[in-house]
A = this chain, B = another copy of it.
Amino acid sequence: MSDASYTLYDSRLSGNAWKVRLLLSHLGLPFRRVTFNLPEGKTRTPEFRAKNPVGKVPVLELSDGTALFESNAILAYLARGTRYLPDEPVAQATVLQWMFFEQSEALKNLAPARFHVSISKRAKEMAADVAKWHEGGYKALDIIDARLQASPFLAGDRYTIADISNFPYVSMAHEGAFDMTKYPHIAAWLDRVRSQPGYVPLIQD
């Protein structure tokens, strides 16, 4: 593979884009990085919407110009044939199951709570919304903690893209005013993820 076959469109604070940078780093794949300052609205231009009609980062552009969106689909694409996505059917389905769980139960509560508590700082005026995100988010965190009591990683004994998918917003949940002190199994898992070869923090520049 030639240098920088991939272009990653991201932003400095996006947890979804962080997932992709984690996996690219684990795999040692070079990539060109185009980092948007989201308030400038550059993900909402017609040019960018031709890459992702949703108008969000991350987008992974391949060397032939194909643009892939949805962070978890990008993870599955990059992980194919690697140790991060098992090929055995039930094992692979279990990885995907925890990635869809991340979208359906975890991220939709953890991400907006973090955004409005720590980034837009509108938690007071949005108190009713924050309460709903906390209600749903704690249910998701309870499930994740119980799962990580039973196995070291979400899909079993090995670190996979199921962990990479769930890690960013769980690791930043405290920024959404979630009390994480009651989740010892999540705390130990966060340490296991951070000790993986090639781990990179959210902000690298």
Contacts and interface: CB of A to CB of B under 8 A. Distances in A.
Interface of A: 53-54, 62, 66, 68-74, 76-77, 80, 89-90, 92-94, 96-97, 99-101, 103-105, 107-108, 143, 146-147
12 contacts: A53-B147, A54-B105, A68-B97, A70-B97, A70-B101, A72-B96, A74-B93, A77-B89, A77-B92, A100-B103, A103-B103, A103-B104
Contacts of A146: 53
Contacts of A80: 89, 92
Contact of A108 (B94, B101, B108): B108
A27 to B, nearest CB: 14
Nearest to A76: B96
A72 B101 CA distance: 10
A24 to B, nearest CB: 15
Main secondary structure of the interface of A (DSSP, over half): helix
B54 A68 contact: no
A165 to B, nearest CB: 10
A101 B56 CA distance: 12
A53 B143 contact: yes
Contacts of A105: 54
